[in-house]
């Protein structure tokens, strides 16, 4: 065992590649369309129908023969009224028009629509009130105007949504528009969260907080990690709090292996005497042949990390990735964002990729000491008046200072060295909303 001084720090990129090695998308399932938001489509959806299915009007007005309106203003005889959903029984002959509402089919004979705003209705003048009257068309109608051709959104036989697409609300609408009520998607990975620590006090089921005894602190990682998983579109599974014993950690993990696709644990992966997560994942990973890596990542915060692959007990014997995240509240979230999330995204059907980052400039200096590690500094990223993003460190950058994380919407990637001067360009992993620019927003 190398002592603390000879500890080998593994570069973040190498750890990310290791974590992603062997990660495969979960086998596709059929899912009701309305449950599939955020899931990744596993097969092209080809439409067998034209959308729209028939020529219809884009505007309220009168269906006419364009040729009849060339000398506008002209008067035409109204021979019918068509609402959306009605099928036209009569056609439009010479000198005739049919009043037509948005979405109604274009009647036979008509080739254009005079919008209602450019017409004047003339009441029936034969006195019996039974006719539909006449209409004065004030401007010539151009053939094809205000018509929606069949297939002008999607043609029958074309790919409506390609495989690999993460379904947005608009995609859900497109799939409904082609009648795809069931879709073939990669399921949302079920990700378990187990926290460890004898010092931790949970919130009571009714939401009340018990008094803290000496040495105790409130448990927060489970809440934060479960919420993060839900935010990222995964099915979060609460595996509870395990005491700092080998038996408790083993017992806490067991149900997860049959009910989850991946597991996150927090705490117990450092060099402390009661750090049993490392011991348990080490033993289980080694005996299962899935492999285990006890790592010191060249990263601050979030240096300690265990990655293990444990066999599922759901009968498939596939290997589940298990991430032993560090217990410090900021470290666990940073480790998730930088290392676990890319793997969970692959399970969900996304292509393997490091966490995406965006260019920004340092709104104030981001200083650090050289220490062989990449620092991920919690920053608030905002739009500047010059159209660039400005990143400013939040206050409270130690790994227990969760408030400093909560005030941030990004992690500035600060490579080993002495950091960035104000105005220097850098990359930020953005994980929260960026406020729209207001006049005061120039940071």
Positions in the binding site for ligand AMP (CB under 6 A): 195, 197, 199-200, 217, 219-222, 266-268, 270, 272, 326-329
Q: Can residue 304 be called a binding residue for Mg ion (CB under 5 A)?
A: no
CB 99 within 8 A of CB 77: no
> Among residues 249 and 408, whose Cβ is nearest to Mg ion?
249
CB nearer to ligand AMP: pick between 102 and 220: 220
Q: How many Cα atoms within 13 Å fall on the side-chain side of residue 202?
A: 15
Q: Smallest gap, in angstroms, from Cβ of residue 250 to ligand AMP?
A: 17
| In the complex, minimum distance from the CB of residue 376 to Mg ion, in angstroms, rounded to a whole number | 22
- Residue in 303, 236, 246 with CA at minimum distance from that of residue 274: 246
Tell me which of ligand AMP, Mg ion, none is bound by residue 152, counting a contact when its beta carbon lies within the kind-specific cut-off of 5 to 8 angstroms: none
Residue with Cβ nearer ligand AMP (102 or 216) = 216
Token pair recorded at residue 34: 């309305």
Among 25, 197, 304, 342, binds Mg ion (CB under 5 A): 197
Nearest residue (CB) to ligand AMP, 130 versus 207: 207
391 binds, among ligand AMP, Mg ion, none (CB under 5 to 8 A by kind): none
Beta carbon nearer to Mg ion, 39 or 325: 325
Contact 52, 376 (CB under 8 A): no
Coil, helix or strand at residue 68: helix
CB of 52 closer than 8 Å to CB of 66: no
The residue whose Cβ lies closest to ligand AMP is 327
CB of 354 to ligand AMP, least distance (A): 25
* C-alpha pair distances (Å), 350 with each of 34, 68, 184, 227, 354: 20, 56, 15, 21, 11
Least separation in angstroms between residue 398's CB and Mg ion is 17
Cβ-contact 391, 419 below 8 angstroms: no
When the beta carbons of 267 and 342 are compared against Mg ion, the nearer one is 267
The SS3 assignment for 108 reads: coil
Q: Write the CB contacts of 152 (distance below 8 Å, at least 6 apart in sequence).
A: 52
Is 252 a binding residue for Mg ion by CB under 5 A? The answer is: no
**Residue 329 contacts which entry, ligand AMP, Mg ion, none (Cβ below 5-8 A, type-dependent):** ligand AMP
d(CA 337, CA 326): 13
How many whole angstroms separate alpha carbon 373 and alpha carbon 416?
Answer: 5
Using CB distances below 5 to 8 A depending on partner kind, what does residue 195 bind out of ligand AMP, Mg ion, none? ligand AMP
Measured from the CB atom, is 220 or 313 closer to ligand AMP? 220
Q: How far is the CB of 196 from Mg ion (least distance, A)?
A: 6
Taking CB under 5 A as the criterion, which residues in 46-65 touch Mg ion?
A: none
Binding Mg ion (rule: CB under 5 A), the pick from 61, 151, 267, 342 is: 267
| Helix or strand (DSSP H, E) at 390 | strand 389-393
- The residues, any chain, with a CB within 8 Å of residue 1's CB and separated by 6 or more, are none
Residue span binding Mg ion (CB under 5 A) among the ranges 91-99, 197-205, 251-259, 368-376: 197-205
**Rounded-to-10 torsion of CA 31, 33, 34, 39:** 70
* CA-based radius of gyration for the chain: 31
List interacting residues with Mg ion (CB under 5 A): 197, 267-268, 327
């Amino acid at each position: 065992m190398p002592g603390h001084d000879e500890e080998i720090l593994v570069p973040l990129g190498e750890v990310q590649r290791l974590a992603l090695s062997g990660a495969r998308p979960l086998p596709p399932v059929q899912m009701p369309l309305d449950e599939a938001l955020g899931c990744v489509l596993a097969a092209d959806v080809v439409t067998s129908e034209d959308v729209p299915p028939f020529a219809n009007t884009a505007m309220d007005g009168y269906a006419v023969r364009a040729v009849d309106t060339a000398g506008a203003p002209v008067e035409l005889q109204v021979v019918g009224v068509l609402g959306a959903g009605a099928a036209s029984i009569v056609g439009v002959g010479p000198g005739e028009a049919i009043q037509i509402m948005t979405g109604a089919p274009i009647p036979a004979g008509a080739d254009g629509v005079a919008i209602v705003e450019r017409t004047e209705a003339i009441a029936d003048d034969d006195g019996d009130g039974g006719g539909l009257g006449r209409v004065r068309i004030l401007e010539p109608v151009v053939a094809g105007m205000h018509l929606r051709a069949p297939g002008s959104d999607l043609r029958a036989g074309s790919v409506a949504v390609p495989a690999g697409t993460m379904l947005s609300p608009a995609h859900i609408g497109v799939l409904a528009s082609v009648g795809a009520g069931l879709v073939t998607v990669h399921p949302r990975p079920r990700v378990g969260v187990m926290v460890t620590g004898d010092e931790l006090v949970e919130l009571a089921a009714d939401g009340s907080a018990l008094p803290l005894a000496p040495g105790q602190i409130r448990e927060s990682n489970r809440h934060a990690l479960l919420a993060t998983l839900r935010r990222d579109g995964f099915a979060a599974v609460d595996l509870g709090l395990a005491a700092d014993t080998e038996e408790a950690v083993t017992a806490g993990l067991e149900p997860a292996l049959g009910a989850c696709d991946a597991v996150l644990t927090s705490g117990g992966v450092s060099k402390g005497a009661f750090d049993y997560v490392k011991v348990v994942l080490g033993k289980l990973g080694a005996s299962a042949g899935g492999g285990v890596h006890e790592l010191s990542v060249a990263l601050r915060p979030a240096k300690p990390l265990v990655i293990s692959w444990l066999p599922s007990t759901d009968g498939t014997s596939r290997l589940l990735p298990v991430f032993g995240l560090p217990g410090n509240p900021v470290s666990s979230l940073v480790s998730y964002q930088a290392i676990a999330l890319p793997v969970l995204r692959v399970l969900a059907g996304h292509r393997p990729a490091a966490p995406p980052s965006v260019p920004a400039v340092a709104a104030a200096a981001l200083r650090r000491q050289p220490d062989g590690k990449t620092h991920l500094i919690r920053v608030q990223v905002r739009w500047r008046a010059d159209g660039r993003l400005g990143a400013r460190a939040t206050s409270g950058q130690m790994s227990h200072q969760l408030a400093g994380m909560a005030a941030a919407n990004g992690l500035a990637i600060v490579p080993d060295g002495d950091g960035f001067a104000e105005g220097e360009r850098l990359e930020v992993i953005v994980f929260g909303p960026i406020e729209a620019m207001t006049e005061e927003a120039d940071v």
